Chains A and B, each alone.
Chain A
Amino acid sequence: MNEQTLQKLKDGGELFSPGHRACIGCVEVLAVRQVCKALGKDTIIANATGCMEIVSSPLPTTNWMVPWIHTLFENTAAVASGIEAGLRAMKRKNRGPKQDVNVVAMGGDGATCDIGFQALSGAMERGHNFINVCFDNEAYMNTGIQRSSATPFGATTTTSPTGKNSIGQVTWKKDMPAIAAAHNIPYVATACPSYASDLAKKVKKAQETKGPSYLHIYSVCPTGWRSKPEMGIELGRMAVETGIFPLYEVENGQWRLTKTVKELKPIRDYIKAQGRFRHLTDDLIDEIQTKVTEKYEALLKKCGQ
């Protein structure tokens, strides 16, 4: 992304308005705003139940300046399928909006990787022309920080608590972008709001893609992660630079790193900055470090590096 595009993003109107009720320092809501800006106004959004839905739409108010629909927690990809098919059928019959419309399904990691997994898989497999955006804050935040399949190993949540017999979450994060890519859809990418122009570029690519696209966006949640509200952007950088959340895209089956990190930073600082990992012993941190390095190397291989 160049200066020009950045300038355009800065100048372009906001499509997610201020005045929402997200917590101080919420990066998920920043990600929503960045995504909306990049999408532009010819967009229809289907939103899953979750933090972003709740903070933006208490009746009779709304923060959405694009057409927006929330129905349930686990069905957004199916709702988006219906919108896309409806627009297509109506266009053939000279009804509905004349312009090309971005149909977007969005939800949290719970909505995407867990309860809405089947609906999403179905919609990607059927090849609808839509963009699915997962805002991954690594737990069910809206309902009070319960674990999801995207919660990282070792994190404490209210349903993976630490205790005499527990170190918190004992499973490794589900690799959702790889699962999306396994559907052989034309475009999959990870993104992080700390890298705003990279994120915007990926949204644009998804927009230009005919068929399903999947964007997985890292979304720092100071409330759930017990991190300092002012640290969100920095934590995002650390996640990328440590290799915990690498930025890459899979375009027509070709894997490519979009942000190469010459030498991965150790994960210790990242872990130490978050209360959810406070209980981890050095041994456990080493175990996580080993896994992160392994996974990153496997990713490099996929990217042909």
Chain B
Amino acid sequence: MSKRVGTEASFAIADAAILADVDVVAAYPITPQTHIVEHLSEVVADGELNAEFICVESEHSAMSACLGSAAAGARTFTATAGQGLELMHEVLYIASSMRLPIVMAVSNRALSGPLNVWGDHSDVMATRDCGWIQYFTENAQEVFDLSLCAFKIAEDPNVLFPVMVHMDGFNVSHVVEPLEMLEKDDIGDFIPPMNFPHPLDPNKPVTMGAFAPPVLYTECRKSQEEALRPSKQTIIKVWNEFGERFGRQYKPVETYKTEDADTLLIAIGSFTETATVAVDTLRAKGEKVGLVRMRLWRPFPFDELRDAVKDAEKLIVFDRCISYGGPGGPLCSEIKSALYGSKEQKPVVNFIGGLGGRDITPEQFEQMFSRGREIIDNNLDIQYETIGVRE
């Protein structure tokens, strides 16, 4: 029977790993992910999780050990944050191109310099194009539920891609919250046994990671892209099955009070919860405002986004990352390009804030709402504005 417990999101991940009967965890500590690795090594030490915990000497080796373990056919899990994710960078591309179903939790953290251990989305956005399935969670319950789903998605024979489960550093990772914890009996056959199709096995030798000359490389890349895009169908299918079995429903793009809204706030990650407070306040004042919460980041949910914004006139996008010298925040760029040339093309403004752990209040979302409308109504030529910065 499922039970209601109060726990930290970071700890809930270990419970998900136990339920998934993970075989190998290879990880290296970094704030704000430390509670995840510490707790995982505890449950392995206590025998609650029958796995090998490889206490590697760097994140580069963490992800590399994950490659080896997954290629051998073992269910493989890791977690990291910020600099750790960047140190893994080149290895991430190998995991996706070899179609290794590794699952990784990321406590999103700012990047140095200056050094900053707190939350923002600089780390995620720098790994946007690494070929992994990536989605966001906003609280401990979602972390738990969607980490479990990640194994089922990653290992689905129609998918076979690694999955990153993002949670905002501290704002989600370190918050103790009540959540509905599933147990072995509840899970049943939700997560089938790991069955990687061509593992490294002397009884059936395979060559993995042969190099591709120019006559083949394009085809390799293209086939990888063509496999990743339709994985969205499986992701939705798994989330729906989770909803049917356990009563909590997840969608690639979540909406809040968008039905009759003329203006939409759009954000990704935990600050969407703050934004709902602003939406309620503004609604009470008679404003027709709603909120779009992006959950699935890769593959990008084009249709779901277009559908979510179709009835609105103005979009205000909030980013927790700067693209230096670029068009603004990465989330906003993606939203603009997803809408450009489509029936749903409409004015979009961009605010950037919440960098390196700086808080964003509901009042600031209200500010973004009024200032955003002002920019659109007056047709001001502004690439983006920074919210909450001292001049």
Q: A residues within 8 Å of B by Cβ?
A: 41-44, 46, 53-54, 57-62, 64-72, 74-75, 77-90, 92-93, 95-97, 99, 101, 118-119, 121-123, 125-126
Contacts and interface: CB of A to CB of B under 8 A. Distances in A.
B49 to A, nearest CB: 10
A97 B208 CA distance: 18
A57 B61 contact: no
Nearest to A82: B68
Contact of A64 (B26, B66, B207): B207
B18 interface: no
Nearest to A123: B61
A4 to B, nearest CB: 25
B65 A85 contact: yes
Contacts of B213: 58-59
Given A71-B94, A72-B94, A83 B69 contact: yes
B199 interface: yes
B64 interface: yes
A89 B207 contact: no
A126 B28 CA distance: 14
Contact of B52 (A46, A86, A99): A86
Contacts of B23: 86, 89-90, 93
Contacts of A92: 50
B348 interface: no
B60 A85 contact: no
Contacts of A58: 210-213
B19 interface: no
Contacts of A77: 61
24 contacts: A57-B210, A58-B213, A59-B211, A59-B213, A59-B216, A60-B210, A66-B205, A68-B208, A69-B71, A69-B200, A69-B207, A69-B209, A71-B67, A71-B91, A71-B94, A72-B94, A75-B61, A86-B23, A86-B69, A96-B199, A97-B203, A99-B202, A119-B61, A119-B64
B202 A85 contact: no
Given A78-B68, A83-B71, 19 more contacts: A41-B205, A44-B200, A57-B211, A59-B211, A59-B216, A61-B210, A67-B201, A69-B209, A70-B210, A72-B94, A75-B67, A78-B64, A78-B65, A81-B56, A82-B26, A82-B64, A82-B66, A83-B200, A93-B50
Interface in B1-39: 21, 23-24, 26
A44 B206 CA distance: 10
A154 B12 CA distance: 58
Interface stretch (B72-80, B119-127, B247-255, B330-338): B72-80
Contacts of A123: 61
B130 interface: no
A57 B74 contact: no
How extensive is the interface on chain B, given as a class?
35 or more
Contact of B72 (A41, A96, A119): A96
B76 A122 contact: no
A142 to B, nearest CB: 11
B209 A71 contact: yes
Contacts of B50: 89, 92-93
B55 interface: yes
Contact of A82 (B24, B58, B216): B24
A118 B68 CA distance: 17
B70 interface: yes
B52 A41 contact: no
Nearest to B98: A71
A85 B67 contact: no
Contacts of B71: 69, 79, 82-83, 86
Nearest to A69: B208
A97 B74 CA distance: 12
B51 interface: yes
Contacts of B201: 44, 67, 96-97
Contacts of B207: 57, 62, 64, 67-69
B48 interface: no
Nearest to B53: A85
B68 A122 contact: no
A126 B212 contact: no
B129 interface: no
A41 B204 CA distance: 10
A70 B67 CA distance: 10
Contacts of B21: 93
Contact of B57 (A79, A101, A122): A122
B213 to A, nearest CB: 6
Given A69-B209, A70-B208, A85-B52, A90 B74 contact: yes
B313 interface: no
Given A59-B211, A64-B207, A88-B52, A79 B67 contact: yes
A69 to B, nearest CB: 4
A81 B51 contact: no
A83 B211 CA distance: 21
Contact of B65 (A42, A44, A65, A79): A79
Nearest to A88: B52
Nearest to B74: A86
Contact of A44 (B52, B66, B98, B202): B202
A302 to B, nearest CB: 28
A78 B56 contact: yes
Given A46-B68, A60-B216, A67-B205, A78 B90 contact: no
A118 B71 CA distance: 22
